[in-house]
């Protein structure tokens, strides 16, 4: 276990190092200048600015400084917001994104589990077909399309919730729904398959044969075993929520990290792009590691040390 | 039965009629090849068959339109026809398809308001520059399908090749190749795509390239896992001991046996590629005006959604149908190829 963990952490660090290196050099070789209105600046001003941002040093020194800074959470200074460090820019916006992501995850997974379980219990009936249709639609309809429709029909026409902004809880409801549809569909499909599998296994038959009621068997035996594999979906969930947050935050005007990312791409704010990229990667890598550990803990049949599946 | 004396004589037996014994061994019904079996199971899945038909029609319309819809007709603006709703001749009774649009709660004939000549109509309306929305949607569908095809192509070539090499070679090669995949897949695809788009210039070529580069890893992983188990099958060992070259074994024995997972995985890559293109174009870092795609149309339609809802609805419906069709087709193929799986 310890050996496995050390190995995993080594690869994590290697991955993050490579991502940092690649993004750094990609951004350095980009055409164009980081300064707005460069043609209006005198060479002297550019020289001073370069000095201020450390752009006059040799490339390798800049690179080492960048890596060194990152070790203690310094991602450099944003080009777009004068003198604001990228790290504080991200820190200020991380909260909204994490809250939105967690809310969407909780809503999506709970509803998905309910829909999936009911579908599996009523296998082959109209309930099952309805659940399948919901899952397919949820998987197919892009969340940004849904977000715009929700915003207009529920937010504006019915006026139930505010259509944009961030701060009150009611403002989080529509973006949460839009963002939760992906995890919901994924969970429902997954739970249905897993539950159907479990329900036809021998120990369920035994439970029924020894006189337990159907609900009791499902509650005590089937559920627990068919939910364990759900842990493997945490990684894909995280990716979907990260992707989703970029567009959903834009539509609902939420000051989150995804919205910041899009903004910095559109304005060539390289330090911010690099910083957000690193935050996304660190997030995903850590989530994947935790997933593996949790999976090993709750299902002893999976041995982490085995390495390959 | 007890130990009773049985006195049987030849007379107690009766010979079977000629040829009757052969019937026991007879197999009723023709024996089906793997492909025929798959086709048989696939045909039973109505949703998948309908999806396949829809996709074929969309492909035919989108690519068949190439001679009629080109960049110059798409880009040219006709301000006098701007923001006209859909008008289909013969459907005068249906509001929304008869050239009327809701303004302040009343249906007004937008065509008459803008003095559009009598015979002129747009089946799906026009956008804010008076360009035919129908043509733009067909063109956008074509872009989506091209993105999907290229992503599928990379899946089928790079993904399959990488997976087979990794699984077949094993040992050190496998280890290195798998670590590379591990590193690539712990970076969200989105980040790879976005970085590529920032470095290359946004546009159809870079978007296709970016999606292609980030989409093949799942395929490579699945192919590798399957290759690992196929490697020890008797027929592969036999071919090996007969001195067959690795390439030939891969092509003749591995690929045919991998075909199910390859096809299924490809069917899942396609909708995600379509989604990525629409997503990136929607937030404005993918394909940008004057080029168009479903994502661009959605982005433009969303701005005027309150007043001209059709400009968002039509591309949204087309995109959703495309996604649903590919997802259902993928599910149908999975069930057809692997009946043990679901249901």
- Summarize the confidence of residues B97-122 as an average pLDDT: 70
- Here the ipTM equals 0.79
- Cβ distance B320 to A277 less than 8 Å, yes or no, reads no
Given CB atoms, is B151 within the 8 Å cutoff of chain A? no
**B167-222: pLDDT as tens digits:** 888 888 888 888 888 778 777 777 777 777 777 777 778 888 888 777 888 888 88
Nearest CA in chain B to A128: B343
pLDDT at B4 over 70: no
Q: Are A61 and A69 in contact (CB under 8 A)?
A: no
Q: How many whole angstroms from its chain centre is CA B118?
A: 41
Per-residue buried b or exposed e for B37-56, using 16+ beta carbons within 10 Å of the residue's own CB: ebeebbeebebbeebbebbe
- Which residue of A137, A142, A152 is in closest CB contact with B279? A142
* Contacts of B223 by beta carbon, 8 Å cutoff, 6+ apart: B159, B160, B162, B163, B164, B167, B258, B261, B262
Residue B2 in tokens: 């007890």
* Cα–Cα dist A271/A258, whole Å: 15
What is the CATH superfamily name and number for domain B48-84+122-337?
MetI-like (1.10.3720.10)
Residue A289 in tokens: 């590691």
Torsion on CA atoms B309, B315, B321, B327, rounded to nearest 10: -120
Given CB atoms, is B56 within the 8 Å cutoff of chain A? no
Q: How many Cβ pairs closer than 8 A exist between chain A and B?
A: 109
Closest CA to B264 of B210, B341, B187, B193: B341
Confidence of residue B99 (pLDDT cuts 50, 70, 90): low
Would you state the pLDDT for residue A308? 42
Would you state the pLDDT for residue A302? 58
pLDDT at B113 over 80: no
Residue A284 in tokens: 């995903």
Would you state the pLDDT for residue A30? 67
**Residue B113 CB neighbour total at 10 angstroms:** 13
In chain A, DSSP assigns E strands to: none
**B203-213: pLDDT as tens digits:** 778 888 888 77
Nearest CA in chain A to B179: A11
- Cβ distance B324 to A280 less than 8 Å, yes or no, reads no
Mutate to test the interface with A, among B46, B50, B180, B186 (most CBs of A within 10 A): B186
Given CB atoms, is B53 within the 8 Å cutoff of chain A? no
- Cβ distance B279 to A242 less than 8 Å, yes or no, reads no
* Contacts of B66 by beta carbon, 8 Å cutoff, 6+ apart: B142
Q: How many residues does chain A have?
A: 309
CA distance A225 to chain B (A): 18
Given CB atoms, is B323 within the 8 Å cutoff of chain A? yes
* Cα–Cα dist A81/B167, whole Å: 49
Closest CA to B144 of B318, B332, B334: B318
- Cβ distance B199 to A288 less than 8 Å, yes or no, reads no
Longest CA pairwise span in chain A (Å): 88
Nearest CA in chain A to B326: A140
The 3-state DSSP composition of chain A as helix, strand, coil percent (nearest 5) reads 75, 0, 20
Query: CA geometry: angle at A151 spanning A148 and A157, to 5°?
Result: 125
* Cα–Cα dist B42/B49, whole Å: 7
- Which residue of B191, B271, B278 is in closest CB contact with A281? B191
- Which residue of B198, B282, B306 is in closest CB contact with A265? B198
Higher per-residue pLDDT: B111 or B64:
B64
N-to-C CA span, chain B: 45
pLDDT at B88 over 80: no
Given CB atoms, is B154 within the 8 Å cutoff of chain A? no
Would you state the pLDDT for residue B342? 42
Cα distances (angstroms) measured from residue B154 to each of B81, B140, B186, B339 = 42, 21, 20, 27
Q: Which chain A residues are closer than 8 Å to B306 by Cβ?
A: 152, 156
CA distance B297 to chain A (A): 12
Higher per-residue pLDDT: B121 or A249:
A249
Given CB atoms, is B179 within the 8 Å cutoff of chain A? yes
**B20-42: pLDDT as tens digits:** 666 666 667 777 777 788 888 88
Would you state the pLDDT for residue B217? 85
Longest CA pairwise span in chain B (Å): 110
**Residue B259 CB neighbour total at 10 angstroms:** 15
- Which residue of A19, A30, A145 is in closest CB contact with B199? A30
Would you state the pLDDT for residue B343? 38
* Cα–Cα dist B126/B114, whole Å: 13
Given CB atoms, is B170 within the 8 Å cutoff of chain A? no
- Which residue of B225, B282, B342 is in closest CB contact with A247? B282
- Cβ distance A23 to B195 less than 8 Å, yes or no, reads yes
Q: Are A274 and A281 in contact (CB under 8 A)?
A: no
pLDDT at B292 over 60: yes
Would you state the pLDDT for residue A303? 55
- Cβ distance B182 to A15 less than 8 Å, yes or no, reads yes
Q: Which chain B residues are closer than 8 Å to A148 by Cβ?
A: 298, 302, 305, 312
Indicate the pTM of the whole model: 0.81
Torsion on CA atoms A127, A128, A134, A135, rounded to nearest 10: 160
Average pLDDT, chain B: 79
Q: Are B245 and B300 in contact (CB under 8 A)?
A: no
Mutate to test the interface with A, among B176, B191, B309 (most CBs of A within 10 A): B191
Q: What is the DSSP letter of A227?
A: H
- Which residue of A30, A140, A277 is in closest CB contact with B327? A140
Q: What whole-number percentage of chain B has pLDDT above 70? A: 83
Q: Are A266 and B194 in contact (CB under 8 A)?
A: no
Given CB atoms, is B285 within the 8 Å cutoff of chain A? yes
Q: How many whole angstroms from its chain centre is CA A13?
A: 20
Domain ranges (residues) in chain B: 48-84+122-337, 85-121
* Cα–Cα dist A141/A147, whole Å: 10
DSSP B210-275: HHHHHHSHHHHHHHHHHHHHHTTSHHHHHHHHTT--HHHHIIIIIHHHHHHHHHHHHHHHHHHHHH
CB burial class (10 A; 0-12, 13-18, 19+) of residue A98? middle
* Cα–Cα dist B144/B165, whole Å: 31
Q: Which residues of chain A have pLDDT under 50?
A: 305-309
* Cα–Cα dist B224/B286, whole Å: 32
Cα distances (angstroms) measured from residue B258 to each of B12, B161, B265, B336 = 58, 12, 11, 15
- Cβ distance A15 to B278 less than 8 Å, yes or no, reads no
What value does the CA radius of gyration of chain B take, rounded to a whole number of Å? 29
CA distance A30 to chain B (A): 6
N-to-C CA span, chain A: 15
Query: B98: which strand partners?
Result: B87
Structural domains of chain A ordered from first start: 86-266 (1.10.3720.10)
The three-state secondary structure class of B108 is: strand
- Cβ distance B186 to A14 less than 8 Å, yes or no, reads no
- Cβ distance A262 to B285 less than 8 Å, yes or no, reads yes
């Amino acid at each position: 276990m310890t050996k496995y963990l050390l190995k995993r952490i080594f690869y994590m660090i290697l991955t993050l190092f490579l991502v940092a290196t690649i993004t750094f050099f990609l951004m350095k070789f980009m055409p164009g200048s980081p300064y707005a209105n460069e043609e209006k600046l005198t060479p002297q001003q550019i020289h001073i600015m370069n000095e201020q941002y450390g752009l006059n040093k040799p490339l390798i020194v800049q690179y080492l400084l960048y890596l060194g800074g990152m070790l203690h959470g310094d991602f450099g200074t944003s080009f777009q917001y004068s003198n604001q460090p990228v790290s504080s820019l991200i820190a200020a916006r991380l909260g909204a994104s994490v809250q939105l992501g967690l809310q969407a995850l909780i809503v999506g997974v709970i509803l998905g589990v309910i829909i999936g379980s009911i579908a599996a219990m009523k296998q082959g009936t109209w309930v099952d077909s309805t659940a399948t249709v919901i899952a397919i639609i949820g998987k197919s309809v892009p969340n940004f399309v849904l977000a715009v429709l929700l915003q207009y029909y529920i937010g504006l026409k019915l006026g139930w919730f505010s259509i944009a902004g961030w701060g009150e809880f009611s403002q989080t409801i529509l973006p949460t729904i839009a963002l939760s549809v992906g995890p919901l569909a994924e969970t429902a499909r997954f739970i249905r398959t897993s539950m159907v599998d479990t329900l036809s296994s021998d120990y369920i038959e035994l439970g029924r044969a020894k006189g337990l009621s159907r609900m009791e068997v499902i509650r005590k035996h089937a559920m627990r075993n068919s939910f364990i594999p759900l842990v493997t979906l945490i990684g894909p969930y995280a990716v979907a929520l990260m992707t989703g947050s970029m567009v959903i935050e834009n539509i609902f005007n939420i000051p989150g990290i995804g919205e910041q990312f899009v903004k910095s791409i559109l304005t060539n704010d390289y330090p911010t792009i690099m910083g957000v990229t690193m935050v996304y990667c660190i997030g995903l890598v850590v989530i994947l590691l935790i997933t593996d550990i949790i999976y090993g803990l709750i299902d002893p049949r999976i041995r982490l040390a085995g390495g390959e599946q | 039965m007890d130990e009773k004396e049985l006195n049987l004589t030849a007379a107690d037996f009766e010979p079977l009629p000629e040829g009757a014994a052969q019937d026991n061994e007879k197999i009723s019904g023709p024996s089906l090849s793997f492909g025929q079996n798959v086709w048989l199971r696939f045909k039973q899945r109505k949703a998948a068959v309908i999806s396949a038909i829809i996709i074929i029609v969309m492909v035919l319309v989108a690519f068949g339109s190439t001679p009629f819809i080109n960049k110059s007709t798409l880009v040219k603006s006709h301000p006098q026809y701007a923001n006209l709703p859909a008008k289909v001749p013969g459907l005068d009774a249906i509001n929304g398809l008869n050239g009327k649009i809701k303004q302040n709660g009343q249906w007004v004939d937008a065509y008459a308001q803008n003095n559009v000549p009598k015979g002129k109509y747009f089946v799906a309306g026009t956008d804010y520059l008076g360009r035919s929305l129908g043509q733009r949607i067909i063109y956008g569908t074509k872009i989506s399908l091209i993105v999907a095809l290229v992503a599928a192509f990379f899946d089928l070539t790079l993904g399959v090749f990488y997976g087979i090499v990794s699984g077949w070679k094993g040992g050190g090669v496998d280890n290195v190749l798998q670590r590379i995949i591990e590193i690539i897949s712990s970076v969200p695809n989105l980040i790879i795509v976005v970085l590529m788009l920032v470095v290359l210039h946004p546009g159809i070529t870079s978007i296709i390239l970016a999606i292609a580069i980030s989409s093949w890893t799942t395929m490579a992983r699945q192919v590798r896992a399957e290759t690992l188990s196929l490697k020890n099958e008797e027929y592969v060992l036999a071919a090996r001991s007969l001195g067959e070259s690795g390439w030939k074994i891969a092509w003749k024995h591995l690929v045919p046996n991998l075909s199910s997972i390859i096809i299924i995985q490809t069917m899942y890559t396609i909708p995600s590629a379509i989604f990525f293109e629409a997503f990136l174009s929607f937030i404005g870092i993918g394909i940008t005006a004057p080029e168009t795609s479903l994502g661009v149309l959605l982005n433009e339609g969303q701005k005027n959604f309150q007043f001209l809802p059709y400009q968002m609805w039509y591309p949204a419906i087309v995109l959703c149908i495309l996604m649903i069709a590919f997802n259902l087709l993928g599910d149908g193929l999975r069930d057809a190829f692997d009946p043990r799986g679901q249901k």
